[in-house]
Amino acid sequence: MKKYHQYLCYKESGVEWLGEIPYHWKVERLKWSVNCCQNGIWGNDPDGKNDFPCVRVADFDRIRNRVNLPIPTMRAIPKSDSQNHILLKGDLLIEKSGGGDL
């Protein structure tokens, strides 16, 4: 953790595997920290009109904690379905299934 700066004061998190956390942080369940939770949408084969880039499990870069989309997977998604599934800055993605090697 040398790449992160040290905080002045720490406290026990109350979570065994987490250990100490900065004093001003609080620990709470993820479900109480989000505005909404929804599944992704896969759509259909690209049609040239309603195509959107989709994030696949294989696109997760677990080393950098980012999504890596050098050549995005495009899928046709009707506008009525896409409006509630467009990612915004600050959105949290959680891998639901599949997996990859670390």
Rounded to an integer, the average pLDDT of 10-25 is: 96
Enclosing domain of residue 15: 10-82
| pLDDT attached to residue 13 | 96
pTM for the full predicted model:
0.63
Q: 97 lies in a domain?
A: no
Q: 32 lies in a domain?
A: yes
Q: 102 lies in a domain?
A: no
Q: 99 lies in a domain?
A: no
Q: 25 lies in a domain?
A: yes
pLDDT, one tens digit per residue, over 29-70 is 988 888 888 888 899 999 999 999 999 888 988 898 888 888
* 43 CB neighbour count, 10 Å cutoff: 20
Split into its structural domains, the chain has a count of 1
Least confident of 63-72, 83-92, 93-102: 93-102
DSSP states of 18-82 as a string? T-EEETT-----GGGS-S--------BS--SSSEEEE--GGGEETTTTEE--SSPEEEE--HHHH
Q: 96 lies in a domain?
A: no
**Closest of 52, 45, 61, 51 to residue 93, by C-alpha:** 61
Q: 31 lies in a domain?
A: yes
List, in order, residues 6 or more apart from 5 with CB less than 8 Å away: none
Q: 21 lies in a domain?
A: yes
